[in-house]
């Protein structure tokens, strides 16, 4: 019987080096592996979020219980007293911030006026804007003493717009009577503790 012509009658086996297979990438396998890795990571993260939520819920529940216990021990009369004290302190701060004191002005007056000048009457007032006004009548031993007061007010700068008027020189002892009108710097009438 004769063999079909397509079947070889003899063959020589190839060596292993000659039959080395070429590397080929298996894309479906790689894609599937990455998908399973991502699924695993997402599952672990979902479980972590779930358990963290449970931990936070338990912690909040414990703190709510502790807060309720502490709230039950609060004395409402003490709280009302603290609120009343806070309101009183806020009111006193407001009053002190708006309070005018003239002690700084009198201290300044004591340092600027010479001993031979005195006021016989002094009127201090605040207008609606909080600006302090000074009106006074006084007597100076001489005209030079009155000029020294004017120079002292001008050089200090906190007694502003000082106007000396109604100047009358007494013929007997050369004393000078005068009237003074001026505005005071805000720092001279502002309360400072």
Least confident stretch, 12-16, 25-29, 97-101, 111-115: 12-16
* Residue 163 near residue 190 (C-beta atoms within 8 A): no
pLDDT tens digits for 60-92?
A: 999 999 999 988 888 889 889 999 999 999 998
CA 123 to chain centre: 40
Q: Report which of residues 46 and 29 the model is more confident about.
A: 46
Q: What would the mean pLDDT of 24-32 be, rounded to a whole number? A: 75
Compute the chain's Rg from CA coordinates. 50
What is the residue whose two structure tokens read 């399973």?
36
166 dihedral zone (left: phi>0; alpha: psi -120 to 50; beta): left
- This prediction has a pTM of 0.49
User: For the sheet containing 132-140, what is the strand order?
Assistant: 117-126, 132-140, 176-184, 159-169
- pLDDT given for residue 82 in this prediction: 93
pLDDT tens digits for 166-190?
A: 888 887 888 888 999 988 887 777 7
How far is it, in rounded angstroms, from Cα 57 to Cα 55?
5
Give domain 103-188's CATH number out of 2.40.50.70, 3.40.50.1000, 3.30.70.2830, 3.30.1200.10.
3.30.70.2830
What is the residue whose two structure tokens read 């699924």?
39
Quick one: angle between helices 143-156 and 103-112, nearest 10? 130
How far is it, in rounded angstroms, from Cα 124 to Cα 61?
65
- Which sequence spans correspond to the domains of the chain? 103-188
- pLDDT given for residue 61 in this prediction: 94
């Amino acid at each position: 019987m004769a063999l079909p012509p397509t079947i070889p009658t003899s063959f020589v086996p190839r060596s292993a080096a000659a039959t080395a297979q070429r590397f080929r990438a298996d894309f479906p396998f790689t894609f599937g592996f990455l998908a399973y890795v991502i699924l695993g990571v997402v599952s672990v993260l979902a479980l972590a979020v779930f358990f963290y939520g449970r931990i936070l819920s338990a912690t909040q529940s414990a703190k709510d219980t502790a807060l309720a216990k502490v709230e039950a021990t609060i004395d409402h009369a003490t709280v009302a007293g603290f609120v009343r004290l806070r309101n009183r302190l806020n009111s006193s701060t407001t009053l002190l911030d708006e309070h005018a004191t003239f002690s700084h002005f009198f201290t300044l007056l004591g340092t600027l006026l010479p001993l031979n000048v005195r006021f016989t009457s002094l009127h201090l007032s605040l207008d609606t804007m909080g600006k302090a006004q000074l009106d006074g009548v006084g007597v100076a031993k001489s005209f030079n003493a009155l000029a020294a007061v004017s120079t002292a007010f001008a050089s200090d700068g906190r007694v502003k717009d000082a106007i000396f008027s109604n100047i009358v020189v007494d013929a007997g002892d050369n004393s000078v009577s005068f009237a003074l009108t001026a505005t005071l710097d805000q720092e001279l009438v502002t309360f400072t503790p």
